[in-house]
Structure 1
Amino acid sequence: MSHVDAVFDGEPIASLERPIPREWPLFPNIRTNAMKTLWLVRHAKSSWDDAALPDRDRPLADRGWREVAKMGKRLAQRGVKPDLILSSPATRALATAEAIAKALDYGRKYIVVDDRLYACQADDLLEVVQALGDQPKSVLLVGHNPELSEFAHLLSSEITHLPTCAVAEFRFATKSWAEVGKIPPERVVLDYPKKKGRGAP
């Protein structure tokens, strides 16, 4: 697999070579807007039952499946409709992305797996986001700690840590993803499974 692959039923449907393509395989709900919305999602709780499994292959734990079901429902209730879902290739991250996609009625074939989202740094995540171009209006990115928490903190000092299956939402008043990290977000919302109340508005 190349560093970026779209997958469907476990098989790659598109290999996207560098540089990042001008046309992403976006879910067909695009609306032109001067705002960009980014959701950073830490994968749900993973299982350590099989110590022999490589880190990349660890699945979700039972608790993780409960977490992602709860967060998927909350996102659906908020009317979240990403134009693009990006996921780390790790099993636990992709399972989280697929469960959220299902809850949002987002076609699974539109999930894009990007190898750069696994075992990376916060600056690498910023580079991925800034290279998205102008086409997608809203992107949901599923990744790992510590880099995902560090990236969230880089975007807003209001966020210092993302628990498992946390969702951090950032809204930027710009038409270009290249501006992310250079301008402050207009809106920052953090939600996670153990958050009291009904979750983020």
Structure 2
Amino acid sequence: MKKLLICRHAKSSWVQAWLTDHDRPLAKRGLKDAPLMAKRLKANHIFPGKITSSDASRALQTAKIYLEVFSKEDVIFEQTPELYHASVKDILQVIHKTSEQVNSLFIFGHNPGFTDLINHLGESLDNLPTAAIFGFTFSTDRWEQISRKNASFWLYDFPKNKSTKNS
């Protein structure tokens, strides 16, 4: 079984309006929400085998906060430009390249691609909020075989959620 956690970057800052979209860092709220979400996962014994992040500043900052929270775990880390402004097809290509030794993959990136991916895999969601996490399990041992057919809802959580929604 493979487990995928789709992690939207935390809230980004618009204070430095001259920065490109790619270079926008996290806002104060994002710097608070990212560790909150990572700690919730850790408290529920949900650990990454690998973290793959968009190379955009806000996604990378969010992913690195998760890495810090999971620092005692043996986590593989990768950043890629392929997750920035990625379509469902692009995101799936990144996921499909994951080593079969990895059973739990956390990916960090952006909307609308992440919300589109969730819907593509069979769940109905209007918008994945910033710092939110959405998980699927797949009844396969090969990342390249994940699809709507073998996807099952695992969890959905976001910073303002008072009770985590797990299956």
TM-score (norm 2): 0.91
User: How many pairs align?
Assistant: 166
- 2:25 paired residue number: 59
Q: Percent identity?
A: 35
Q: For 1:175-190, list aligned pairs within 5 A.
A: 175-190=141-156
Q: Does 1:83 align with 2:57?
A: no
- 1:46 paired residue number: 12
Call closer, same or farther: CA 1:113–1:186 in 2, change over 3 Å.
same
Letter in 2 for 1:100: Y
Call closer, same or farther: CA 1:109–1:57 in 2, change over 3 Å.
farther
Q: For 1:98-137, list aligned pairs within 5 A.
A: 98-105=64-71, 110-137=76-103
Larger radius of gyration: 1
Moved more, 129-138 or 104-113: 104-113
Give every structure 1 segment of 4 or more consecutive aligned residues whose post-TM-superposition deviation is greater than 6 Å: none
- 1:172–1:184 contact (8 Å) kept in structure 2: yes
Q: Which runs of 5+ in 1 are unaligned?
A: 1-34
Encode CA deviations 1:130-183: one digit per residue, 9 max, x unaligned: 232422111100000111111111112233321000001101111111111252
- 1:154 paired residue number: 120
Name which of 152, 155, 159 aligns with 1:193: 159
Encode CA deviations 1:21-43: one digit per residue, 9 max, x unaligned: xxxxxxxxxxxxxx100000000
- 2:10–2:62 contact (8 Å) kept in structure 1: yes
Structure 1 Cα separation of the partners of residues 154 and 75 of structure 2: 29
Structure 2 residue matching 1:134: 3-state secondary structure:
coil
Moved more, 179-188 or 157-166: 179-188
TM-score (norm 1): 0.77
Considering only aligned residues, what root-mean-square deviation do their CA atoms show, in Å? 1.8
Structure 2 Cα separation of the partners of residues 186 and 155 of structure 1: 9
Name which of 81, 89, 93 aligns with 2:59: 93
Name which of 127, 136, 146 aligns with 1:170: 136
Structure 2 Cα separation of the partners of residues 83 and 173 of structure 1: 17
- 1:24 paired residue number: none
* Alpha-carbon offset, residue 68 of structure 1: 0.7
